Structure 1
């Protein structure tokens, strides 16, 4: 009941700060930025004087339409670029990362892209939601960690890796944790609970974010601020295949897309106090009780170990980037 009350208060009464920090000379990548939160965040970064804003999108034609929209609203030309990225394909993720390694600098990677299907399907070696929202998200993040660190040292800045999670991570009991292997269980088509799958995927982002933040801090390598955020329930295309009740909730409670996008920009503004932290309503907030409770550390290690094994198989040596 307390969680519902907080959700309603947040949706109806919280006013997120309008972004004002300048990003002069900086290069920022935003995934899933042809529509919704990613598009509006990219618009903010462009408005705030970023030197280069890369729209990482699956559809180049939609990306070009988004670029035109940003240029028309901000009157900025020569800033926005459209790059292809399909998180349903590990080869696409690796190709994108290789291209990004050639940038002069990379100051922030905002991983916003995600899916919320209600039917079981597979991309690569997992159920599609897990591949896109979890495995490919961290594959891209870890592939670009060295570039973020290099840019930080070269330009005397602290780069950011911000992952768009959700407060719904607290709504999943993660029953799959009771099995020997969490990811294998999630990939079982006959036992998959797709009504819980998006929430599970958001929870499976939280655990690796926390572990990655701890390990990068301990590594002794150059700092990259890693945080994860909740934009709230917003008008977007994410849940276009979702249930009718979600559409009703969005009609009455959803934030505007621009309002929700402020949380993405806020995460990139965050200082070292946000490293490894969950940001909700643009404030550091405790994540779900399952994460912070007595079971949390063990689940976190299990998720990290299973995900690490997957990533190492996809790209041998990648865990050395941590």
Structure 2
């Protein structure tokens, strides 16, 4: 009932305010929610917007479209390449952020995939790499720039991860794995294919867990950067393009928000203060994650997932967690 009310009746406020002088980075911003969020920030006067995209041609088309509809100056939007399915690409992009940008006020990690079948990206099932591992690798690698922005400009930057309410559609069947083996089991082909309908929800649940765990490990009182996650709801976007079922498209036709309306949740979450650190944002407010996440069992699983993530990130980029 809550989902239906949210999708059909909840009115989300149109973004207002000034982002004059602010630098905003949005991954997956050549289409969909990321592009519409970038359009809002351009309309509200952002000083610099980085469209971080896999396909530069599509990114440049998005840049032209946003410039045309907002009349922002043609030097506001830049298109940079990053492929979240590649650790090397994530590292290269993060190095460029740290080297070339004077400041980063808002970073929206929006890029995500919902594949219809099992595939490998790096050493994981693809949605786990893109939606989870690479997202937190990117966070660890750009947080030095966000921390320096806080120090030099007397502000509190934001790193907001786009999540989904589908994280509540799973209680992580892999939680019964031996200690230290949850991620191994998540990526196991036979196990994933057996529970394929839960694989995308699992990729989002892992992110919710680790935003919460990060905020516990690095509280707002010691970390000058806010981390939260945001549920945009069911929206018209390209995310579900690999799901050809009639039922999915009928549900989307009846219930989905427009991409622009969904993007309002991204802008809202990215514009919050330290009170949102570690929080699950939804419907342009602070919400509650799934009952499993907040249960005693969920808290125990969260700790295990966080510990495994830290080891994973350190294996990809040694000492990266010291950036926090």
TM-score bracket for this pair, using the shorter chain length: over 0.9
The residue that corresponds to 1:239 in the other structure is 240
Determine the C-alpha separation between the residues in 2 that align with 1:243 and 1:186: 24
1:259 aligns with 2:261: yes
SS of residue matched to 2:218: helix
Determine the C-alpha separation between the residues in 1 that align with 2:55 and 2:216: 35
Equivalent pair of 2:37/2:267 in contact (CA under 8 Å): yes
The residue that corresponds to 2:183 in the other structure is 183
The residue that corresponds to 2:24 in the other structure is 28
The residue that corresponds to 2:146 in the other structure is 148
The residue that corresponds to 1:157 in the other structure is 155
Cα deviations by residue, 1:139-183 (Å, 9 ceiling, x for unpaired):
001111111010011011110000000111011121100111111
The residue that corresponds to 1:100 in the other structure is 97
SS of residue matched to 1:284: strand
Question: Gaps spanning 5+ residues in structure 2: where?
Answer: none
Q: Cα offset for 1:283?
A: 1.1
Determine the C-alpha separation between the residues in 1 that align with 2:278 and 2:175: 22
What is the correspondence of 1:218-297 to structure 2 with a 5 Å cutoff?
A: 220-221=222-223, 223-244=224-245, 245-297=247-299
Q: Cα offset for 1:71?
A: 0.4
Task: Show structure 1 runs of 4+ deviating over 4 A.
Answer: none
State the TM-score, normalizing by the size of structure 2.
0.96
Q: Cα offset for 1:187?
A: 1.4
Q: 1:171 to 1:236 in 2, by over 3 A?
A: same
State the TM-score, normalizing by the size of structure 1.
0.97
Aligned length: 317
Equivalent pair of 1:118/1:195 in contact (CA under 8 Å): no
| 1:315 corresponds to which of 297, 314, 317 | 317
Question: Gaps spanning 5+ residues in structure 1: where?
Answer: none
Equivalent pair of 2:220/2:226 in contact (CA under 8 Å): no
Cα deviations by residue, 1:240-294 (Å, 9 ceiling, x for unpaired):
0014122111111100000000000001111222111111101111111111011
| 1:85 corresponds to which of 77, 82, 95 | 82
The residue that corresponds to 1:55 in the other structure is 51
Cα deviations by residue, 1:174-211 (Å, 9 ceiling, x for unpaired):
11001111111111111212211111111000011001
SS of residue matched to 2:24: strand
